[in-house]
């Protein structure tokens, strides 16, 4: 390979590559004449093109830049940073790879040390190298070679990778003489590794035998993510367009294993890796590539790939026994992976792996039509030892007839169940028939309750019908918000389904899942945990994991763990749920967004605002693409988005969303539904934060009344609504009522929970806040101290943003009685808010205003003026952008009056500011009120 006598800029490399593609389309004999006639300016570009064409053999393995440029060669024995080079393992256009060991003797482990070349185009290679380092660091899988260390030594970047002493997977299979079954089993770890990468939003883009090694111990390892592409958060079904980086590399690919869209330069997604895996599997099974070339050129290869001239594996081998073994399932699996159109391939690598596993287990593969004859054939193969040779024909005929009869029976049973459900729904509506109603108009809930009570009696002995009806009724009650009724009927559905189908069924798994939903809404976390586990077990009876319910159940299990204080397991389960569901359905799916809503809720409950925001962006991106997305779920996710905006400080934006969705909740779920109640509480809080205190109070009073009006009162739901009312009563200056309501709520939660919980400590905090506003400082301070001490016991279970707000309230209450304590509390609270919400967030600027206030109260004579000036600056920052009627204006005006009265010799300015504060309170609350002790909410 020649050394280049030219230096090109990145844009010049791109120009040369365009002409190089054209040249490689020509027969070799015509290239010289074509190049001589080519007018290419400036002249050194033509010189570069000529040199690259001379290196045609290397170029046609896609090592375009490496063909024309090599870095300074390293020598065995040389040191690079802490590493001593032992021997070169390989060299390509981007980098060389050396076997190396620690020169300082820190450990004896040998590594594969990757060293990028420093040459024309090295800026591009350097970017690839940094990307490979970032990608590999994020991929933790037993079948992916791991990053051990990385660094830079005198301008030479290096990457220390796990050294795999092995050979390419195809050579290993050949040298060991592996049979078809063993080769398929050997391929499964490759699929697991690639699926893991896809779960991390990474497509490999260069899957080939040289990048899949089998160690001397028989362990499969996937290598070389140097040309991998991050999907930029677009999801498993997303596409990653070629960037300037990959284009400068002359399409970073090995053509023989590239997908049609990769060869054509179109955007890539996970389907591209599925195709490359199909090529690799084809070669592993047949010993040859799937393409028949008309001529030996890169252009001919591209033509073959795009033209899809692919023979079935069974047609590509000469050995008759192997051809028979490949015929049927294996042919189907490989050809589906090699479909020219991405949409016709397997939707994920997991789906490809599942079909290979099903074939190995002699089960019907998903890629083939589920005809009765095919399923019969699979059954005979699976139970071959159980059938005598002379009985095969008889068994086949009997099984075929039996299967047809069974299918007919199943169809008839399904029809009977559907008719029964229809008849039941007609009966529900008939209860409002004037002849039966007798002037009494019943609600939908009453109609359903009346009819549902008669299911078991009316359909006695029809187990499948009973199961289906209880399941249907349970789901309807969930949508109505009557979780107690839902749980009762779904429990019956589970029992009947298990009796009707002892070996398991889709309906059994679905009923367990819906039962868990109802139990979670009832906050019966122990029972819900059991139901979620039973859902997984019922799904396992139908096929291997991951299955339809895996990701959904993991998402709920994460939520249960977060609600019961197991936050580390919750975080692990949440990450697992997202990965599994993304791999199963991609991000643009109803089930994935359902899981996202659980995980985002967990993040918000823990004060992890940035993490929640990243997930909630997916709603905006995908919701409009999903026509089957339930309306109630769409509304719920808009509610989550409003919660995020409220927490972020965009209260006006949150209020706009909530004003639009509260009527939708009322319409679709009713005013008594838990989701409606929670959303109305947030709406009331947003109204208060925009200075609309009386409308906010009216909203929450109505909300509490709606919860109390439920046919089956749920005490905890009532008290949670009452706690939210306490905060608004305090803000509205109704201190006596706020204290009374808060004492009632705290008494309930103290009686219900032996251990501290967020609900219980929120009630204690709001009672303390109401007492301080009422002027009962001693008890208010005591309760705040207790709440903060219990928060320490809760540890990570306590929302750090709420803890910071408690610290701030105590700092304010102690500003004169214990100024040192007050300063320490404020100093602890403000950085927490700053990190989570940002310096410009209203909650952060309020905190800094209080911190300046506390410092100014304790300032000595020398620092007094500067401290007051600092407070005024912090106050102005906190008030910027707030509505004219916002209560904080009154409180901070009174704070300044307090400072002037305490430090000034002339009381007049203080009296003027107190008068202005009183006027501001009257403006904010709509009536004159006694000025409360200052507190922030």
Among candidates 88, 83, 120, which has minimal Cα distance to 101? 83
Among candidates 140, 168, 151, which has minimal Cα distance to 80? 151
CB–CB of 126/157 below 8 Å?
yes
Q: How far apart are the first and last CA of the chain?
A: 73
Rounded alpha-carbon distances, angstroms, from residue 676 to 399, 483, 684, 726, 783: 54, 14, 12, 19, 31
- Which pairs with CB-CB distance under 8 Å and at least 24 residues apart come from 313-320? 313/282, 313/285, 313/286, 316/282, 316/286, 316/288, 316/290, 317/286, 317/287
CB–CB of 887/691 below 8 Å?
yes
- Which pairs with CB-CB distance under 8 Å and at least 24 residues apart come from 877-883? 877/845, 877/848, 877/849, 878/842, 878/845, 878/846, 878/848, 878/849, 880/845, 881/842, 882/691, 882/842, 883/690, 883/691
CB–CB of 665/636 below 8 Å?
no
The alpha-helical segments, DSSP class H, found in 266-297 are 270-286
* Catalytic member of 206, 355, 482, 798: 206
Q: What is the DSSP string of 843-871?
A: HHHHHHHHHHHHHHHH--TTTHHHHHHHH
Asked, as a colleague might, if the bond just before 42 is cis with ω within 30 of 0, I would say yes
Q: Which helix (H) or strand (E) holds 665?
A: helix 651-668
Q: What is the DSSP string of 366-425?
A: TTS---HHHHHHHHHHHTGGGS-GGGHHHHHHHHHHHHHHHHHHHHHHHHHHHHHHHHHH
Euclidean distance between CA atoms 802 and 596, whole angstroms: 23
3-state secondary structure of 99: strand
Catalytic residue status for 55: no
Euclidean distance between CA atoms 19 and 38, whole angstroms: 9
| Residues 353, 359, 360, 363, Cα dihedral to 10° | 120
Name residues whose C-beta falls within 8 Å of residue 858's C-beta, 6 or more positions apart in sequence: 815, 819, 820, 822, 823
Among candidates 651, 653, 684, 679, which has minimal Cα distance to 666? 679
CB–CB of 798/762 below 8 Å?
no
Task: Please state the three-class secondary structure of 204-271 as a single string.
Answer: CCCCCHHHEEEECCCCEEECCCCCCEECCCCCCCCEECCCHHHHHCCCCCCHHHCCHHHHCCCCEEHH
CB–CB of 25/65 below 8 Å?
no
Count how many Cα atoms sit within 13 Å of the Cα of residue 379 in the half-sphere of its side chain.
15
Phi, psi of 542, rounded to the nearest 5 degrees:
-95, -15
Name residues whose C-beta falls within 8 Å of residue 728's C-beta, 6 or more positions apart in sequence: 684, 685, 688, 693, 696, 697, 700
Euclidean distance between CA atoms 915 and 889, whole angstroms: 13
Q: Which helix (H) or strand (E) holds 149?
A: strand 147-153
CB–CB of 761/790 below 8 Å?
yes
Catalytic positions are 206
């Amino acid at each position: 390979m020649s050394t280049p006598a030219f230096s090109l800029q990145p844009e010049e490399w791109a120009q040369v590559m365009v002409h190089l593609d054209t040249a490689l389309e020509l027969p070799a004999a015509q290239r010289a004449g074509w190049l001589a006639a080519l007018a290419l300016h400036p002249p050194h570009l033509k010189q570069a093109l000529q040199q690259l064409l001379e290196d045609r053999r290397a170029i046609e393995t896609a090592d375009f830049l490496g063909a024309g440029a090599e870095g300074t060669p390293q020598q065995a024995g040389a040191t690079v940073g802490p590493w001593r080079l032992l021997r070169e393992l390989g060299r390509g256009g981007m980098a060389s790879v050396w076997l190396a060991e620690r020169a300082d003797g820190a450990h004896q482990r040998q590594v594969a040390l990757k060293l990028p070349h420093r040459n024309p185009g090295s800026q591009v290679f350097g970017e690839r190298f940094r990307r490979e380092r970032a990608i590999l660091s994020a991929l933790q899988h037993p079948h992916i070679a791991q990053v051990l260390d990385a660094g830079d030594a005198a301008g030479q970047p290096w990457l220390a990778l796990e050294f795999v002493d092995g050979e390419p997977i195809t050579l290993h299979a050949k040298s060991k003489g592996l049979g078809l079954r063993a080769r398929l089993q050997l391929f499964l770890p490759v699929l697991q590794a690639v699926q893991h990468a896809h779960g991390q939003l990474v497509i490999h883009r260069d899957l080939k035998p040289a990048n899949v090694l089998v160690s001397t111990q028989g362990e499969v390892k996937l290598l070389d993510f140097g040309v991998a592409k991050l999907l930029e958060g677009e999801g498993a079904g997303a596409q990653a367009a070629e960037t300037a980086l990959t284009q400068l590399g002359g399409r970073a690919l090995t053509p023989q294993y590239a997908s049609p869209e990769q060869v054509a330069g179109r955007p890539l997604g996970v389907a591209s890796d599925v195709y490359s895996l199909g090529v690799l599997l084809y070669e592993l099974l047949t010993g040859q590539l799937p393409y028949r070339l008309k001529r030996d050129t890169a252009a001919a290869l591209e033509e073959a790939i795009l033209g899809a001239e692919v023979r079935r594996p069974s047609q590509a081998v000469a050995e008759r026994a192997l051809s028979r073994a490949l015929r049927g399932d294996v042919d189907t699996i490989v050809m589906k992976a090699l479909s020219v159109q991405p949409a016709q391939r397997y939707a994920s690598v997991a789906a490809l792996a599942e079909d290979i596993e099903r074939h190995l287990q002699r089960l019907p593969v998903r890629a083939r039509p589920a005809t009765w004859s095919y399923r019969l054939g699979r059954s005979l193969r699976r139970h071959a030892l159980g059938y005598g040779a002379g009985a095969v024909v008889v068994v086949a005929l009997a099984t075929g007839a039996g299967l047809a009869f069974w299918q007919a029976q199943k169809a008839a049973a399904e029809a009977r169940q559907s008719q029964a459900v229809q008849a039941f729904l007609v009966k529900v509506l008939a209860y409002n028939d004037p002849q039966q109603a007798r002037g009494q108009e019943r609600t939908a809930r009453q109609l359903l309750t009346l009819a549902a009570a008669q299911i078991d009696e009316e359909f006695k002995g029809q187990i499948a019908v009973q199961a289906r009806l209880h399941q249907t009724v349970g789901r309807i009650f969930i949508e109505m918000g009557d979780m107690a009724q839902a749980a009762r009927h779904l429990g019956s559905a589970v029992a009947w389904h298990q009796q009707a189908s002892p070996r398991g069924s889709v309906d059994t798994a679905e009923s367990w899942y819906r039962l868990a939903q109802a139990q979670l809404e009832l906050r019966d976390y122990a029972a819900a945990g059991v139901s979620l586990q039973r859902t997984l077990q019922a799904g396992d009876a139908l096929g291997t994991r991951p299955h339809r319910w895996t990701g959904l159940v993991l998402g709920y299990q994460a939520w249960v763990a977060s609600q019961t204080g197991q936050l580390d397991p919750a975080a692990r389960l949440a990450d697992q749920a997202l990965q599994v569901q993304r791999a199963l359905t991609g991000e643009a799916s109803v089930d994935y967004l359902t899981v996202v809503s659980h995980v985002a809720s967990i993040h918000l409950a823990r004060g992890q605002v940035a993490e929640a925001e990243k997930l909630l962006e997916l709603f905006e991106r995908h919701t409009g693409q999903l026509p089957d997305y339930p309306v109630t779920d769409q509304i719920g996710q808009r509610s989550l988005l409003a919660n995020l905006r409220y927490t972020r400080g965009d209260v006006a934006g949150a209020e706009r969303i909530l004003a639009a969705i509260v009527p939708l909740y009322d319409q679709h779920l009713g005013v008594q539904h838990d989701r409606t109640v929670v959303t109305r509480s947030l709406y009331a809080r947003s109204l208060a934060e925009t200075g609309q205190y009386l409308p906010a109070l009216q909203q929450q009073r109505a909300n509490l009344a709606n919860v109390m009006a439920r046919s089956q009162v749920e005490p905890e739901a009532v008290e949670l609504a009452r706690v939210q009312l306490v905060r608004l009563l305090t803000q509205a200056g109704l201190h006596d009522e706020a204290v009374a309501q808060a004492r009632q709520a705290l008494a309930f939660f103290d009686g219900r929970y032996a251990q501290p919980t967020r609900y219980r400590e929120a009630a204690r905090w709001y009672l303390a806040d109401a007492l301080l506003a009422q002027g009962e400082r001693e008890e208010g301070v005591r309760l705040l101290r207790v709440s903060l001490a219990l928060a320490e016991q809760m540890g990570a279970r306590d929302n750090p943003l709420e803890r910071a707000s408690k610290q701030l309230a105590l700092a304010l209450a102690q500003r004169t009685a214990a100024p040192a304590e007050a300063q320490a509390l404020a100093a602890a609270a403000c950085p927490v808010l700053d990190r989570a919400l940002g310096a410009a967030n209203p909650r952060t600027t309020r905190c800094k205003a209080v911190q300046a206030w506390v410092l100014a109260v304790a300032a000595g004579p020398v620092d007094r003026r500067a401290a007051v000036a600092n407070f005024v600056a912090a106050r102005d920052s906190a008030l910027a952008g707030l509505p004219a009627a916002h209560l904080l204006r009154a409180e901070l005006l009174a704070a300044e009056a307090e400072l002037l009265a305490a430090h000034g010799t002339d009381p007049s300015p203080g009296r003027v500011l107190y008068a202005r504060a009183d006027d501001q309170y009257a403006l904010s609350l709509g009536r004159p009120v006694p000025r409360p002790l200052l507190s922030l909410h």
